[in-house]
Structure formats: C-alpha cells, structure tokens
C-alpha cells in the first residue's frame, strides 16, 4: 500500500500554499492532536488469549468534537489511521459540519473471527478507548465494521456511563437512534456531485463506468440510473459486466442479491480491458484507493472522474489526468455525504427529534450542492484544481476556528 499519510500531508501542504497558512498552523495540523495506540486482550473461542493492536487518531478539535469511523483490517497501520483522521477534518470542513477529524481502527481480520470473538473484540475496543461521548469524540463505522458493531459499541458506552446517549456513537441501527438514509448517504452524495459536474461539462445523461458495487458503488449506480444516466459498466471483486446501451441497474441489484456478485449478470459480457480504461464519459472509482496510478492514468478515457472511494488516484495519476484535461471531483467533496448524514444522526440523537427519509434526502442534497459549488468557486477564484481548492477552503475554516480560540 502507498504511504497514505505522506499523500495526505502533500495535499495539506498544497492547500496551505493557496491560503498562505501560517507556518506554525501548518506544523500543528501536520501531526494529530492526539494519537492513541492500545492493545485489546481477547479470549478466543478455543480458549487462547490473543492481543490485538488498536488505534484512535484525533486530528484536531478546533472545529468541534472529533468524529468518524472505526476500521478493522489485518494490515492496518498507524499512518493510515492518522491520514484518515486528517481527511475527516477536511471532509467535515468541506461540508460545513462543525466537527473535527477522528478515526480509529483495530489490526484484525474480521473474517478470521467467529461472531462471538468479533463481538468481544468490538466491545473491548470501546472499553479500552475510554470513550468520551457526544461532545468530545464520536466513533462511527468504516471498513470491517457495520451497524451491528456500532450497536455493540453504543451498548458498551451506555453500560460504562449508565446513561442512554444515542449521539455518542454514529452509524448505529435506527432502533438505537440511528438516522434514516445513513446507508445510502455516500452513494446519493456521489450521484449528486457527478450530476452537478456532468451538467457543467455538458455530459448530463452520459455514460458511466463504476468500479465497485458495494455500499457506495451500488447506490451511486442506482441513483444515477434513476437520474437518466447510462451505466455502461460495473465491476466488483468477482469481475465486470458491461452494456453500451446501459445496464438494467435494478435487475443487476436483484442478481447481486441472489448471487453476491455482478459477474454472470443477464448474460452481459465481461470486459476485455480494465474497467478504469473503459470507454465512458464519467468514471467513478468506488472500491479501493490508488487504483489509478502513473502506470494506467494515460489510458483513462473518461472526461470526468468522480472519486467515490478515498484517494483512488495516486498524486502522479492526478497530475497526468489534469494535464490531459480530465475533470476530477475529489473524494473530500464527492464522498462526504456519509459524513453529512452522520452529522444529522448526532443532531437527531441530541434533540430526540428523528427525521423522515424525505427530510434527510432533501437536507443532504442541499449540503452536497453547497459543498460542490463552494469548492468549484474556490477553484475558479484561485485558478487551482478542485482538490486543492476544497482542501484550501476547509483549511481556511479550520484556521479561523483556531484563531478565534487563540491557538495561534
């Protein structure tokens, strides 16, 4: 895996240059405010006792309580968690969310654990984290965790404190105070951004290829299909399917529900080449980071790339695409819909006023459009790519909060 922390710092420095960020603030934002590494002892089903390494990185809390997900992966490292906490600071500021950036994780392979071991691990994480609640640090879900894991984390927190506190944990089931529309939020946000950018480029209703058909890619595909776009190719870890006239996305959903994979759908042919190089107007990487690199960037044929995944383009690929006239909607704008609805979730938990799906969708659409247009306007004003502009606008907000607090 590439050095995501180094890539995050590179984006930070480029954005700092746009707004002439004071060197002492840049230095302060180049290290997490607090980084905790701890061990979780776990009793395995066969009686063995194992220790699992865990992290929580709080990047900065000048803009509000630190918030965001908990990642469980076997090859997780501290640099990845630090980088993701910085990304969350930026993403929250891009979307005008009054929150700082946080990220946590456990070095473990959930597939190698039994259901009981997994539950004990997640509960152990929450106990060892010494959670600090809705006004300090709010963990949520990420790769390797889901609503069920968040339910256990909330239950642990409430047992420790002896108080019901739905706003202390995000991404939990609706029955425990979760928000409607949480599962679809990131994909809806990606679709909104893709449509806004496509309209500017006269590509509305154009052809779309999507790498990844998980939580984000599948919802993005369905939403864009409903909005009149032609989804000409979709891939997942099993392979890819394509149709120049546009795939029947609702039928593809039914196929994936039944088989667990996109391959073999309706006799649609697979792809001779990589989906990233497919003939389409809009490319949406929605699977993994660093999938477009110096090796394949020149073969991307799309005019617009919308980053649904985090950091799907390496810095070299980013430059190659920009030099080739490709428009890029960066991850911190395109995929901030999940963070927006997590903020709605905390608001609902604090107020005990739970919204219907229509209200969540309407408010999400407003926030996505505002984030997109603000980044676009900053890009035009400073004559920089949208990624640098989004980071610069976010940094300016964080700087203001730090200055008001007298931290510089």
Catalytic residue set: 103
Least distance to ligand NAD, CB of residue 76, Å: 13
Nearest of 159, 169, 271 to residue 210 by alpha carbon = 271
**Chain positions contacting ligand NAD, by CB under 6 A:** 186, 211-217, 235-237, 286-288, 308-310, 335, 338
Q: Please give the helix or strand (H or E) that residue 239 lies within, else none.
A: strand 239-242
- Least CB distance to ligand NAD at residue 146 (A): 9
Radius of gyration (C-alpha) of the chain in whole angstroms: 21
Which strand ranges, in their side-by-side order, compose the sheet holding 100-107? 34-43, 49-60, 100-107, 66-73, 137-141
- Cross-strand pairs, 304: 282, 327
* Dihedrals phi, psi of 107, to nearest 5 degrees: -85, 95
Output 61 or 236, the one with its CB closest to ligand NAD.
Answer: 236
CB of residue 342 to ligand NAD, shortest distance in Å: 9
Distance in Å, CB of 22 to ligand NAD, minimum: 30
Is the CB of 236 or the CB of 343 nearer to ligand NAD?
A: 236
Nearer to ligand NAD, 216 or 402 (CB): 216
Q: How far apart are the first and last CA of the chain?
A: 35
The distance of closest approach from Cβ of residue 382 to ligand NAD in the complex, given in angstroms and rounded to an integer, is 26
Which residues, in sequence order, are CB contacts of 111 under 8 Å at separation 6+? Answer: none
Measured from the CB atom, the residue of 281 and 310 that comes closer to ligand NAD is 310
SS3 353: coil
**In 10 A of CB 258, how many CB atoms?**
8
CA 256 to chain centre: 23
Q: Residue 286 CB, nearest distance to ligand NAD (Å)?
A: 5
- Enumerate long-range contacts of 384-387, CB under 8 Å, 24 or more apart: 384/18, 385/318, 385/322, 385/328, 386/327, 386/328, 386/329, 386/330, 386/333, 387/11, 387/318, 387/328, 387/330, 387/332
331, two tokens: 């991850």
The torsion angles phi and psi of 28, rounded to 5 degrees, stand at -65, -40
Which residue sits closest to ligand NAD, CB atoms considered? 214
User: Would you say 203 or 252 has its CB closer to ligand NAD?
Assistant: 252
Q: Which of 90, 99, 34 is nearest to 63 (CA)?
A: 99
- In the complex with ligand NAD, the residue whose CB is nearer, 18 or 90, is 90
231 vs 384, which CB is nearer to ligand NAD?
Answer: 231
> Is the CB of residue 42 less than 8 Å from the CB of residue 49?
yes
- What whole-number distance in Å separates Cα of residue 341 and Cα of residue 34? 25
Asked whether the beta carbons of 267 and 282 are under 8 A apart, the reply is no
CB of 400 to ligand NAD, least distance (A): 25
Residue with tokens 């302060």: 28
| Cβ at position 159, least distance to ligand NAD in Å | 27
* Residue nearer to ligand NAD on the CB measure, 330 or 385: 330
Q: Which residues touch 162 (CB under 8 Å, ≥6 apart)? A: none
């Amino acid at each position: 895996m590439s050095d995501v922390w180094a890539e995050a710092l590179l984006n930070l420095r480029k954005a700092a240059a746009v707004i002439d960020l004071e060197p002492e603030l840049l230095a302060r934002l180049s290290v997490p405010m607090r980084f905790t590494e701890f061990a979780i002892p776990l009793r395995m089903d066969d009686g063995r006792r194992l220790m699992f390494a865990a992290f929580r990185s709080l990047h900065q809390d000048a803009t509000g309580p630190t918030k965001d997900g908990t990642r469980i992966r076997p090859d997780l490292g501290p640099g990845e968690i630090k980088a993701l906490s910085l990304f969350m600071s930026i993403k929250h500021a891009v979307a005008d969310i009054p929150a700082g950036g946080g990220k946590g994780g456990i070095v473990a392979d959930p597939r190698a654990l039994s259901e009981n071991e997994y539950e004990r691990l997640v509960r152990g994480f929450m106990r060892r984290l010494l959670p600090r609640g809705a006004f300090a640090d709010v963990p949520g879900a990420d790769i390797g965790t889901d609503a069920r894991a968040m339910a256990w984390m909330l239950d642990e927190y409430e047992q420790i404190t002896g108080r019901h506190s739905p706003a202390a944990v995000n991404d939990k089931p609706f029955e425990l105070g979760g928000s409607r529309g949480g599962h679809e939020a990131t994909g809806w946000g990606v679709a909104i951004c893709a449509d806004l950018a496509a309209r500017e480029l006269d590509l509305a209703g154009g052809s779309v290829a999507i790498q990844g058909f998980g939580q984000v890619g599948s919802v993005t595909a369905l939403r864009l299909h409903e909005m009149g776009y032609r989804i000409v190719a979709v891939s997942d870890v099993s392979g890819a399917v394509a149709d120049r006239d546009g795939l029947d996305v609702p039928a593809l959903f039914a196929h994936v529900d039944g088989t667990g994979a996109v391959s073999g759908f309706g006799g649609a042919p697979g792809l001779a080449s990589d989906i990233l190089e497919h003939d389409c107007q809009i490319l949406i990487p929605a699977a993994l980071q660093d999938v477009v690199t110096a090796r394949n960037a020149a073969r991307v044929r799309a005019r617009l790339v919308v980053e649904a995944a985090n950091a799907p383009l390496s810095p070299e690929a980013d430059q190659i695409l920009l030099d080739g006239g490709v428009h890029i909607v960066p991850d911190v704008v395109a995929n901030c819909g999940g963070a927006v609805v997590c903020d709605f979730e905390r608001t609902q938990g604090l107020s005990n006023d739970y919204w219907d799906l229509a209200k969540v969708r309407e408010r999400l659409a407003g926030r996505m459009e505002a984030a997109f247009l603000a980044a676009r306007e900053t890009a035009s004003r400073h004559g920089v790519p949208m990624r640098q502009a989004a980071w610069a606008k976010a940094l300016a907000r964080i700087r203001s909060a730090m200055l008001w607090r007298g931290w510089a």
